[in-house]
Amino acid sequence: MSASNFKGKVVALSGGVGGAKLAQGLAQCLAPEQLLIVANTGDDFEHLGLTISPDLDSVMYALAGINDSQRGWGLAGESWQAMAALERLRGETWFRLGDRDLATHLQRSQLLRQGRSLTEATAALCRALGIGPQLIPMSDDPVRTLVATAAGELAFQHYFVREQCEPAVTGFRFDGIERSTPNPLWLQWLADPELAAVIICPSNPFVSVDPMLQLPGVRQALRDCPAPLIAVSPIVAGAAIKGPAAKMMAELKLPCSAHSVAEHYGELLDGFVLDEADAELIPSIASDSLAVTAAASVMRDADSKRALAQRVLDFATALA
Ligand code: FO1
């Protein structure tokens, strides 16, 4: 499975779709014990009595090779009988849970009700799906992303799915974050002398990555960690590959470019990977403390995921 000779361990921070794709590529390049994937749980919510963890689901399904790559979320070959029956009963169907996907949420919710942590529940689901690398939630404590809009504050999935990202955003809040503890396994990996890279996947900086970075103690742990911290831009040629990142930037009055992404992460970064289409931005982003490289970052298939992962790992080796 592992064709790369990359030495050391890698922590990857991931949101949903874009992050899951790079995580898949990294899983191709590294041995399972070399890779820890930390997923955002700010998108999580309780719905129909179930605990839904969309970013954990996206990464888990991608690593198991059972995700629907067209739709971008959920399982391939899905059916929707339960949603049709729920609609008939006049239940809430704005958030669509496929019949097979429903099994994930039932099992996760059952494990949590039995007293398991989200980390333990995720490990159990990953084990059952035959996933090699460790996938963990950013925290076992509930953190809920709230989106401030002209129309008032919205829970993340209400903004994202129910309102289709239409309301203009003015800011974000991560409810519960100051009372939450980062996943201890994540901090353990950051302190591991064998750690060779921390990679921020091409996920939305505001709603997928910021909840992870704003957990108490995480920024300091990242600063203290000697391995290079590298972010991959989710913005290519002024547009988001998927999702509302570009729309959010415009609404927050930020220039919509890879430059804004690098600036957003600021001094935390040692390396920044932007798309070849944005190579002309390199001189304006690079500095004495920030190395910047261009790569083919649009991941359309298994080969491009693996190739980007390998480029990021080579970049980490060069920066070490
Ligand atoms: N996204 C949608 O646009 N519509 C849905 O009905 C929907 C259902 C859904 C169910 C389970 C799951 O794990 C994810 C789901 N998503 C859906 C994706 C999710 O809302 C977002 O992609 C993430 O929260 C953003 O990263």
Name the average pLDDT for the chain.
96
Separation of alpha carbons 220 and 225, rounded Å: 9
Please state the separation of Cα 17 from the chain's center in Å: 7
* DSSP 8-state secondary structure symbol assigned to residue 49: T
Res 92: pLDDT: 97
Res 3: pLDDT: 55
Mind giving me the DSSP string for 290-302?
BEEEEE-----SH
Cα 235 to ligand 1 centre (Å) = 20
Tokens in use for 32? Answer: 């399972």
Res 5: pLDDT: 87
Query: For the segment 25-65, what is each residue's pLDDT rounded down to a tens digit?
Result: 999 999 999 999 999 999 999 999 999 999 999 999 999 99
Instruction: Please state the atom number of ligand 1 nearest to the C-alpha of residue 94.
Output: 6
161 lines ligand 1 (CB under 6 A): yes
160 lines ligand 1 (CB under 6 A): yes
Is 166 a residue whose pLDDT tops 80?
yes
% pLDDT > 90, the chain: 96
Cα 251 to ligand 1 centre (Å) = 22
Are the C-beta atoms of 66 and 75 separated by less than 8 Å? Answer: yes
Q: What is the mean pLDDT of residues 238-266?
A: 93
Query: C-alpha angle 60/11/307, rounded to 5°?
Result: 75
Tokens in use for 283? Answer: 């001189």
